[in-house]
Amino acid sequence: MAYKIINGKEISAAVKERIKNEVEALKVKGIGVGLAVILVGENPASKVYVANKKKACEELGIKSFEFKLPEQTTEEELISLIKKLNENSEVNGILCQLPLPAHLDESTVINTIVPEKDVDAFHPVNVGKIMIGDFDFLPCTPAGIMEMLGFMNIDVCGKECVVIGRSNIVGKPMAMLLLHKNATVTVCHSKTKDLKAVTSRADVLVSAVGRAGFVTADMVKEGAVVIDVGMNRNAENKLCGDVDFEAVAEKCSAITPVPGGVGPMTIAMLMQNTLTAAKKQNNF
């Protein structure tokens, strides 16, 4: 069947344009928007993500505060920096790039960021708000996926949606957001029995497992919408997703490519969260 490509570059450009206009409108009122990004250590993937975030800030007129800390930074030093940023009124959003070096406790670090500046939406307060459907921020990747579905006029109400992966960053919040839009949601994981039987029922299938070519054509229902969150390297070291794109696309009504699908949306939604934080902190 003929399938539509869900173009993350195109949709994120539209989202960014909207944010840029709002940031400019706030500047006219004397209100700046600022994001602080903390990077501990030399993780190559994290360095790329941080550079992309900085570039997006520059494009949209958001002030970027960057803190590159050495691998051996102590937890005390990192916590002390976060506390300073919590107090700094020029900083509306704080993001500590994960994963952290092994000697640092992720949950302690996340819990130190005040919920109103937690633009990743990882703080337990923000997680709880997402659970009950009364949230200020959403985790950037699931939020980006919902934005894409909306842009493509894909209504999930009453649809059977399957999420593969149960991480706190993508899988669990993704399931909650689909549920808030009245989808019937199943979350699959490494212990799911007969995965194929479950995924074959999905009207909308979201894969966030991080394994190249994991989702094959026989796992997908004819006419399904397939969202690929994976960012993997295949045997040829080429960037690819969780989905065997060539084979699966033939069965889909719509599908996201990798690269150029979900990736650009994640950063756009981080910018959206930073703008939301600035507006809330200035009572807009």
Q: Spell out the domains of the chain, with CATH numbers in brackets.
A: 30-115 (3.40.50.10860), 140-263 (3.40.50.720)
β partners of residue 232: 240
Q: Is residue 114 a contact partner of residue 136, using CB atoms and an 8 Å limit?
A: no
Amino acid at 245: F
Is the per-residue pLDDT at 33 higher than 90? yes
Tell me, rounded to whole angstroms, the distance of Cα 219 from its chain centroid: 24
What is the per-residue burial (b if ≥16 Cβ within 10 Å, else e) of 156-179?
A: beebbbbbbbbbebbbbbbbbbbe
pLDDT of residue 89: 97
- Report the candidate in 178, 180, 169, 255 with the shortest Cα–Cα distance to residue 215: 255
From the candidates 16, 117, 118, 120, which is the catalytic residue? Answer: 120
Q: What is the mean pLDDT of residues 229-245?
A: 92
Task: For 75-115, write each residue's pLDDT tens digit.
Answer: 999 999 999 999 999 999 999 999 999 999 999 999 999 99
Crossing angle of helices 262-281 and 8-28, in 10° steps, is: 20
Is the per-residue pLDDT at 40 higher than 80? yes
Give pairs for 212-215: CB < 8 Å, separation 24+.
Answer: 212/240, 212/241, 212/242, 213/240, 213/242, 213/243, 213/244, 214/164, 214/242, 214/243, 215/164, 215/242, 215/243, 215/244, 215/248
Dihedral sign computed on CA atoms, order 205, 211, 212, 217:
negative
pLDDT of residue 2: 83
Is the per-residue pLDDT at 1 higher than 90? no
Q: What is the mean pLDDT of residues 250-276?
A: 97
Dihedral sign computed on CA atoms, order 263, 267, 270, 276:
negative
Residues 6+ apart with CB under 8 A from 123: 110, 111, 113, 114, 115
pLDDT of residue 235: 86
pLDDT of residue 18: 98
From the candidates 53, 117, 159, 251, which is the catalytic residue? Answer: 53
Is the per-residue pLDDT at 242 higher than 80? yes
For the chain, how many residues are written?
284
Catalytic (active site) residue 155: no
pLDDT of residue 31: 97
d(CA 109, CA 124): 12
Name the phi and psi angles at 56, rounded to 5: -65, -40
SS3 (DSSP) at 110: helix
Percent of the chain with pLDDT over 70: 100
d(CA 19, CA 267): 12
Can you give the pTM of this predicted structure? 0.95
From the candidates 16, 97, 172, 228, which is the catalytic residue? Answer: 97
CA distance readout (Å), 56 to 61, 86, 124, 133, 197: 9, 22, 27, 28, 41
| Intra-chain end-to-end CA distance of the chain, in Å | 47
Catalytic (active site) residue 120: yes
d(CA 239, CA 260): 11
CA distance readout (Å), 63 to 9, 22, 27, 54, 92: 23, 14, 11, 9, 10
Task: For 176-198, write each residue's pLDDT tens digit.
Answer: 999 999 999 999 999 999 999 99
Amino acid at 47: K
Catalytic (active site) residue 53: yes
Residue 234's pLDDT band (cuts 50, 70, 90): confident
Is the per-residue pLDDT at 45 higher than 90? no
Task: For 108-154, write each residue's pLDDT tens digit.
Answer: 999 999 999 999 999 999 999 999 999 999 999 999 999 999 999 99
d(CA 221, CA 227): 13
